[in-house]
């Protein structure tokens, strides 16, 4: 397996093809770097969907569900960073070759054939979100053959179990995120038991278990794993246990209304201007503001997990959170500005990484 890391590669598929006896420390470090890239890749499309929901529907069940999933994914990325640093690795986050690129595949060859794009909340977007989170063997809807995120984390955990002595507890960041739900705290990983608990949270919040669609680490009672939550909004119905013997779940429950959303168009590769879309000065200003804050966010996250001093790490993490709060305003401003083709769609954030100014 090459040590060269690139966003658009089949690295995860290739890592999973390695025999168990070859899944050593370098394998684990490469896998965890891919896991970090994978977790980061889910956030921009989910955020675009969340931010596009119009204000009257920001108290809706769909809004609350997507909001909770976004914070789950943030904690998953942080836990993946802690897994890498506890074995002496350094997360790479603010790197042009590694940041997510849309539209395009997920990193590492996970879910081949799935194109992930930046767009407002629609049925098509919800289908894309649930495609990202689809388990190996869902308890509702048909099974599909694919390399799932859960299967990748299972392989990572098995490599940890085979080499527990690699866990050193170095450069661990913590953050209280309990207000966003059970299991969402970013915790230090200093033992195999800690790693096992972290992987369990990441897998079961996203995919559920093999026998239940419920999220075992919910923000609210009865909250489902991400895949089933997205499918409920897509189908417009709650998932219920339709039959007991054998148990079968189906989307036949109470109505889940589709929220009203700003009609953000799909960002072309490289951004609006690169896709040949005219970009007026006011739009360019919002795009530049957003991209600067997004890029600073990634840089502060990288510095947080690379810092040797806990105080410096905490400061960098706080600065990253500050940049996160600067994203929604320009994103929603863009979503209210119509594209010039008269088709009824609007601009939206590009999530492009820009180099740090000298």
Query: CA-CA distance, 118 to 111, in Å (whole number)?
Result: 17
Burial status of residue 356 (CB atoms within 10 A of its CB: 0-12, 13-18, 19 or more): exposed
CATH superfamily for domain 11-261: Ferritin, core subunit, four-helix bundle (1.20.1260.10)
pTM: 0.92
**pLDDT string in tens for the chain (358-residue length):** 445 577 778 899 899 999 999 999 999 999 999 999 999 999 999 999 999 999 989 999 999 999 999 999 999 999 999 999 999 999 999 999 899 999 999 998 888 889 999 999 999 999 999 999 888 766 555 555 556 788 899 999 999 999 999 999 999 999 988 776 667 789 999 999 999 999 999 988 876 555 567 766 666 667 788 989 999 999 999 998 877 766 778 889 999 999 999 999 999 999 999 999 999 999 999 999 999 999 999 999 999 999 999 999 999 999 999 999 999 999 999 999 999 999 999 999 999 999 876 5
CATH 1.20.1260.10 residue ranges of the chain are 11-261
Would you state the structure tokens that stand for residue 59, as one six-digit string?
Answer: 């108290």
CB 226 within 8 A of CB 207: yes
How many angstroms separate the CA atoms of 72 and 215, rounded?
11
């Amino acid at each position: 397996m090459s040590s060269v890391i690139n966003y658009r590669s089949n690295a995860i598929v290739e890592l999973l093809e390695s025999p168990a006896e070859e899944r050593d420390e370098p394998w684990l470090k490469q896998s965890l770097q891919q896991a970090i890239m994978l977790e980061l890749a889910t956030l921009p499309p989910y955020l675009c969907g969340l931010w596009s929901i119009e204000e009257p529907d920001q108290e809706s069940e769909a809004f609350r569900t997507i909001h909770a999933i976004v914070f789950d994914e943030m904690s998953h990325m942080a836990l993946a960073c802690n897994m890498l640093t506890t074995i002496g690795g350094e997360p790479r986050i603010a790197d042009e070759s590694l940041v997510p690129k849309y539209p395009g595949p997920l990193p590492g060859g996970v879910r081949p054939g799935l194109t992930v794009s930046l767009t407002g909340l629609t049925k098509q977007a919800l289908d894309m979100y649930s495609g990202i989170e689809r388990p190996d063997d869902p308890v509702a809807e048909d099974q599909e053959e694919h390399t799932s995120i859960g299967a990748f984390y299972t392989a990572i955990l098995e490599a940890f179990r085979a080499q527990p002595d690699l866990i050193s507890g170095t450069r661990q960041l913590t953050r209280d995120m309990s207000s966003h739900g059970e299991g969402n705290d970013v915790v230090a990983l200093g033992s195999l038991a800690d790693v096992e608990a972290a992987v369990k949270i990441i897998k079961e919040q996203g995919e559920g278990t093999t026998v239940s669609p419920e999220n075992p680490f919910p923000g609210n009672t009865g909250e489902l794993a991400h895949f089933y939550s997205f499918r409920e909004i897509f189908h417009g119905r709650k998932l219920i246990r339709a039959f007991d013997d054998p148990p079968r779940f189906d989307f036949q429950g109470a109505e889940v209304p589709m929220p009203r959303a700003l009609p953000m168009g799909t960002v072309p590769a490289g951004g609006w201007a690169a896709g040949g879309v005219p970009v007026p000065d006011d739009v360019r200003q919002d795009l530049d503001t957003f991209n600067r804050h997004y890029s600073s966010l990634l840089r502060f996250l990288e510095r947080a997990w690379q810092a040797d001093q806990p105080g410096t790490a905490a400061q960098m993490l706080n600065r990253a959170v500050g940049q996160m709060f600067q994203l929604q305003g320009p994103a929603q401003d863009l979503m209210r500005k119509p594209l010039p083709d008269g088709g009824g769609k609007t601009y939206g954030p590009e999530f492009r990484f820009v180099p740090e100014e000298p």
